Chains A and B, each alone.
Chain A
């Protein structure tokens, strides 16, 4: 989708503000949101692409007005309701309660051992087997000009551009499908685009953008 999250190249979004001695979290609620997302991720209710897309579906003005962890909170509430894990009524009722009701555990949530494993191993997403590569290093390609209504990892600024394949990273889950209930995997390539190809005259002819794109984002050029 052509959302405001896809902000590469947009002008007028304000100055970069760097904090001195920035803390990891700015408030206790940020700590809780951070950990809630990983705990819920452990339950497997959604994949990373669905989560990113839930953030992208925020109304543009709200996305711009709110911070990173507010985006996470919005996406968690959205997905929990869409997947019928909690209802809007339950959420509203919980806001009126000081303390949780005590109910027996119905599932095995992320425990301390799972946290240790998460840090040590992460969640490698590379897929062992996949289709043969359509492109090889050095191939001259063009990024496709697509404007899908749903999730895509091909940003607007990089669409319809001429580039060169620089590395073949292997096969990974394909977010454009997997954010919408699919389970596709496609090959990822490192693509080199010149800054002039993207932005036209007025930029350094030496400068480049390297971007990781999936095979369906690319076509061969003659």
Chain B
């Protein structure tokens, strides 16, 4: 898999699109169809407040509290409600548990459906056709590119979000984290591990080292 930095020119739009968007916004403003203050509030929510830290908190809770995990697996909407997770684009949630025999990974081949309430807005690669086309057909190769080798004895279960259900993966809890607090465990729960393209991070990646 290739990596590149966010200021890569791949995202530099032609000047035309800036004009196009501004024109559309001005026209809709003239027609009284939009409120700029509300738009700014919405952008602020998704740029600064709603993101994968919400899902990480939920996974960490599931790791330390088995009754919460059971509620999360049985009725994710109710369990997420307990923690006050945002609902927009997460109205009908399903949690998928990774185990020693099953690895779950989520995609939306037809568009880019994603559990915004727990993960925020999706990364570009998730929305792009290379991931959407390949993960259903060659999931093990794609996972390998993300650095995760799925055991040959394990089922790789690909979830194609074709309807309004939204899926999040509960990665396996890393070994060597016994006695860790929820807050510290949450640091190991990456966005990618909740999409299912990787595992949770190793204990050494927690901010204050491996000590509990």
A-B contact pairs, 12 of them (CB 8 A): A17-B4, A24-B47, A29-B21, A32-B22, A36-B34, A52-B111, A73-B20, A110-B34, A115-B42, A119-B86, A154-B162, A207-B158
Q: In the complex the two chains form, is A39's CB within 8 Å of B33's CB?
A: yes
B127 to chain A, nearest CB (A): 5
Q: In the complex the two chains form, is A111's CB within 8 Å of B35's CB?
A: yes
Q: In the complex the two chains form, is B129's CB within 8 Å of A13's CB?
A: yes
Describe B's contact surface by its main secondary structure. mixed
Most chain-B CB neighbours within 10 Å: which of A15, A77, A103?
A15
Q: In the complex the two chains form, is A73's CB within 8 Å of B47's CB?
A: no
Which of A5, A28, A211 is the one whose CB lies under 8 Å from B162? A211
B5 at interface by CB-CB < 8 Å: yes
Residues of A within 8 A of B159 (CB): 209-211
- Evaluate whether A26 and B11 lie within 8 angstroms (CB atoms) in the complex, with A16-B125, A17-B3 already known: yes
* B24-64 vs A, Cβ < 8 Å mask (1 yes, 0 no): 11111111111101111111011100110000000000000
A40 at interface by CB-CB < 8 Å: yes
Q: In the complex the two chains form, is B162's CB within 8 Å of A38's CB?
A: no
Interface size on B, residues (CB 8 A): 89
B117 at interface by CB-CB < 8 Å: yes
A90 at interface by CB-CB < 8 Å: yes
Interface size on A, residues (CB 8 A): 100
Q: In the complex the two chains form, is B27's CB within 8 Å of A86's CB?
A: yes
- Evaluate whether A15 and B130 lie within 8 angstroms (CB atoms) in the complex, with A55-B111, A111-B35 already known: yes
Residues of B within 8 A of A85 (CB): 31, 33
Q: In the complex the two chains form, is A39's CB within 8 Å of B38's CB?
A: yes
Residues of A within 8 A of B6 (CB): 19-23, 26
CB nearest to B103 among chain A residues:
A207
A121 at interface by CB-CB < 8 Å: yes
Residues of B within 8 A of A118 (CB): 42, 88
A95 to chain B, nearest CB (A): 4
Interface residues of A (CB under 8 A from B): 4-11, 13-29, 31-36, 38-40, 43, 52, 55, 64, 67-68, 70, 73, 76-77, 80, 85-86, 90-91, 94-95, 97, 99-107, 109-112, 114-116, 118-126, 153-155, 157-158, 169, 172, 188, 190, 195, 198-199, 203-204, 206-214
Residues of B within 8 A of A107 (CB): 31-33
- Evaluate whether A209 and B133 lie within 8 angstroms (CB atoms) in the complex, with A19-B4, A77-B24, A118-B42 already known: no
Q: In the complex the two chains form, is A16's CB within 8 Å of B21's CB?
A: no
**Complex Cα gap A80–B33 (Å):** 12
Which of B92, B124, B133, B153 is the one whose CB lies under 8 Å from A68? B124
B98 at interface by CB-CB < 8 Å: no
Interface residues of B (CB under 8 A from A): 1-6, 8, 10-13, 17-35, 37-43, 45-47, 50-51, 86-92, 107, 109-112, 117, 120-121, 123-125, 127-134, 136-137, 139-140, 142, 145-146, 152-165
Which of B30, B39, B165 is the one whose CB lies under 8 Å from A32? B39
**Complex Cα gap A68–B133 (Å):** 15
CB nearest to A192 among chain B residues:
B157
**Complex Cα gap A112–B142 (Å):** 41
B42 to chain A, nearest CB (A): 5
Which of A16, A23, A109, A116 is the one whose CB lies under 8 Å from B35? A109
Q: In the complex the two chains form, is A95's CB within 8 Å of B35's CB?
A: no
A175 to chain B, nearest CB (A): 8
Which of B107, B110, B117, B156 is the one whose CB lies under 8 Å from A204? B156
Q: In the complex the two chains form, is A7's CB within 8 Å of B163's CB?
A: no
- Evaluate whether A33 and B21 lie within 8 angstroms (CB atoms) in the complex, with A6-B109, A119-B87 already known: yes
